[in-house]
Chain A
Amino acid sequence: MLEINARLRDFKLFIDKLYKYRTISIIGMEKNTGKTTTLNFLIQQLKGRKIGITSVGRDGEEEDIVTLTPKPKIYIDENTLIATSKSSFLRSDSTLKILQVMDINTPLGPVIIGESIYSGFVEIAGPSINTQIKAVIEKLKEFKCQHIIVDGALSKKSFADPSITEASILCTGAAFSEDVNVLVEDTLNVLNLFSLDAVKYNISKIYEDNMEDCRIAFIYGNNIKKSVLKTSISASKEIISNFNKDLDFVFIKGAFTNNLVDDMIKSNLNLKSVTFVVEDGTKLLLDKNRYTEFIYKGGKLKVKNNINIIGISVNPTSPSGYVLDYNEFFNRLKEKTDIPVFNVMDYALDVRK
Chain B
Amino acid sequence: MNYMKKDILDKIGFYYVLDKLSILTPYGRNLISHLQIIREKEKLLLEYDNIERCFSLINDAKLNSNISNTLMRFKDIRNTFIRCREGQVLDEVELYEIKCFVSLCFEFKDLYKKSKIDITEIFFHEFSEVYKLLNPLEYRSTDFYVYDEYSSKLKTIRLKKKEFNKTLFKEKDRIKQKQLLEQRQQLISEEREEEFKIRKALSLTISQYADKMIQQTLSIGNFDLIFAKAKIAAVYKMARPVISNRVKMDMGVNPMVKNKVEERGGIFSPVSIEALKGTTVITGANMGGKTVLLSIIALNYILASTGFFVFAKGFEFTLLDFVYFLSEDSESIKNGLSSFGGEIFNIKYILSRIKSERGLIILDEFAKGTNPTEGANITKALLQYLNKFDSICIMSTHYDGVCSFANFHYQVKGLRYVDFNELKNIAIKEEDYLKLINYHMDYTLEKVDRYTSIPRDAINICALMGIDEEIINIAKVLYEKEEEI
Contacts and interface: CB of A to CB of B under 8 A. Distances in A.
Given A95-B191, A350-B174, A350-B177, A117 B96 contact: no
B161 A98 contact: no
A350 B96 CA distance: 34
Interface string A310-353: 00000000000000000000000000000000000000011101
A98 B94 CA distance: 10
Nearest to A114: B145
A112 B161 contact: no
A118 B143 contact: no
Nearest to B154: A95
A96 B188 contact: no
Contact of B93 (A89, A119, A349, A350): A89
Interface string A83-121: 000100110010111110100000001101001011110
Nearest to A99: B143
A98 B145 contact: yes
Contacts of B162: 118-119
B317 to A, nearest CB: 41
B144 interface: yes
Nearest to A93: B188
Nearest to A113: B143
B165 interface: yes
A101 B145 contact: no
Contacts of A109: 93
Q: How many residues of B sit at the interface, in one of the four size bands?
A: 20 to 34
Nearest to A95: B158
A119 B169 CA distance: 12
Interface string A142-172: 0000000000000000000000000000000
Contacts of B145: 95-98, 117
A353 B144 CA distance: 30
A118 B145 CA distance: 11
Interface string B171-205: 00010011001000000100100000000000000
A29 B255 CA distance: 58
A117 B100 CA distance: 20
Contacts of B91: 90
Chain A residues touching B, majority SS: strand
Contacts of B161: 95, 118, 120
Contacts, number: 51
A98 B169 contact: no
B96 A98 contact: yes
B10 interface: no
Task: Give chain B's interface secondary structure class.
Answer: helix
Nearest to A86: B93
A99 B174 CA distance: 36
A220 B456 CA distance: 58
B97 interface: yes
Contacts of A97: 143-145
Contacts of B158: 95, 118
Nearest to B192: A93
Given A95-B145, A117-B145, A101 B93 contact: yes
Contact of A98 (B143, B177, B188): B143
Interface string B144-177: 1100100000000010011001001100001001
A157 to B, nearest CB: 29
A98 B181 contact: no
A98 B145 CA distance: 6
Contact of A119 (B96, B97, B165, B178): B165
Interface in B336-367: none
Nearest to B161: A118
Contacts of A350: 174, 177
B93 to A, nearest CB: 5
B92 interface: yes
A251 B308 CA distance: 53
A64 to B, nearest CB: 18
Nearest to B144: A98
A253 to B, nearest CB: 33
Contacts of A86: 93
A353 B181 contact: yes
Interface string B2-14: 0000000000000
B93 A98 contact: yes
Contacts of A96: 145
Contacts of A98: 92-93, 96, 143-145
Nearest to A97: B145
Contacts of B165: 118-120
A126 to B, nearest CB: 16
A101 B97 contact: yes
B389 to A, nearest CB: 53
Contacts of B168: 351
Contacts of B169: 349, 351
A326 to B, nearest CB: 19
A234 to B, nearest CB: 41
Contacts of A118: 158, 161-162, 165
A97 B143 CA distance: 7
A112 B168 CA distance: 28
A112 B177 contact: no
Contacts of A90: 91-93
Nearest to A103: B75
A98 B161 CA distance: 20
Most chain A C-beta atoms within 10 Å of own C-beta, residue among B97, B143, B168, B178: B143
Contacts of B181: 351, 353
B236 to A, nearest CB: 30
A101 B181 CA distance: 31
A-B residue pairs, 10 tightest by C-beta: A97-B145, A98-B96, A93-B188, A349-B169, A97-B143, A119-B165, A98-B144, A118-B158, A99-B143, A86-B93
30 contacts: A86-B93, A89-B93, A90-B91, A93-B188, A95-B158, A97-B143, A97-B145, A98-B92, A98-B96, A98-B145, A99-B143, A101-B93, A101-B96, A101-B97, A101-B100, A110-B93, A112-B93, A117-B148, A118-B158, A118-B161, A118-B162, A120-B165, A120-B188, A350-B174, A351-B168, A351-B169, A351-B177, A351-B181, A353-B178, A353-B181
Given A95-B145, A97-B145, 5 more contacts: A98-B144, A101-B97, A112-B93, A118-B161, A120-B165
